[in-house]
């Protein structure tokens, strides 16, 4: 099996979580498979090493897992984007709409240096709202969005469409 097939075989679909009608793509079984988890990192490194990237930004919380491994392997810094109220120093914040209500994410003001090329990583792309919020935080921090990296893309939601405003480099290991 190739890496895509192995990820698909390992992801656990949890119906009606966190609410009725949503099929949650649970990536925790991938973390139990040490070889697969390492191979995912290697695959991301192989892909993104051909791009000009200074830092990796990971989105809380599942974006921290392979986002940090990727940054370590590429020998570049990792920067967390967290939900409001979690980062201790001065932050930029960005509020965005969800299907019901809204969410707010933050980044430390001194995390990204002016002009740095930033790869945004998360486990899954759905509508794209979260990735766009991250891209806005990168921009307000003075960074340049150099690409988006996901393990999984729910292509039927077409989240990719709005991401193209920020970067054409959008990569997922698995697409549903």
* Of 48, 38, 47, 28, the residue nearest 69 (C-alpha): 38
Number of residues in contact with ligand AMP under rule CB under 6 A: 17
- Per DSSP, 34 falls in state H
Least distance CB 166 / ligand AMP (angstroms): 14
- Unique residue bearing structure tokens 């139990």: 32
Q: Spell out, one character per residue from 61 to 90, where the chain touches ligand AMP: x when CB under 6 A holds, - when not.
A: -x----------------------------
Indicate whether 159 belongs to the interface with ligand AMP (CB under 6 A): yes
- Per DSSP, 70 falls in state H
The three-state (H, E, C) secondary structure of 84-136, written as one string: CCCCCCCEEEEEEECCCCEEEEEEECCCCCCCCEEEEEEEEECCCHHHHHHHH
Contact by Cβ (8 Å): 58, 80: yes
Name which of 142 and 164 has its Cβ closer to ligand AMP: 164
Site for ligand AMP in 13-32 (CB under 6 A): 22-25
Residues tagged active-site: 62, 99
Q: Spell out, one character per residue from 114 to 153, where the chain touches ligand AMP: x when CB under 6 A holds, - when not.
A: --------xxxxxxxxxx----------------------
Q: Which of 7, 30, 53, 59 binds ligand AMP (CB under 6 A)?
A: 59
Least distance CB 52 / ligand AMP (angstroms): 25
* Distance, CA of 74 to CA of 112 (rounded, Å): 17
Name which of 24 and 47 has its Cβ closer to ligand AMP: 24
């Amino acid at each position: 099996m190739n890496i895509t097939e192995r990820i698909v075989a390992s992801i656990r679909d949890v119906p009606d979580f966190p609410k009725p009608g949503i099929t949650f793509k649970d990536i925790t079984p991938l973390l139990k498979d040490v070889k697969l988890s390492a191979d995912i990192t290697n695959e991301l490194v192989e892909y993104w090493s051909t791009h000009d990237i200074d830092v990796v930004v990971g989105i809380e919380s599942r974006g921290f897992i392979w986002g940090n491994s990727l940054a370590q392997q590429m020998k570049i810094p990792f920067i967390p984007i967290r939900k409001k109220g979690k980062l201790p120093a001065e932050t930029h914040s960005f509020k965005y709409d969800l299907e019901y209500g809204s969410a707010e994410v933050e980044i430390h003001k001194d995390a990204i240096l002016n002009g740095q090329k930033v790869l945004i990583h998360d486990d899954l792309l759905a509508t794209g709202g979260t990735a766009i919020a991250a891209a806005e935080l990168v921009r307000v921090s003075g960074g340049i969005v150099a690409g988006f990296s996901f393990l999984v893309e729910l292509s039927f939601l077409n989240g990719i469409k709005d991401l193209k405003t920020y970067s054409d480099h959008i990569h997922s290991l698995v697409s549903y």
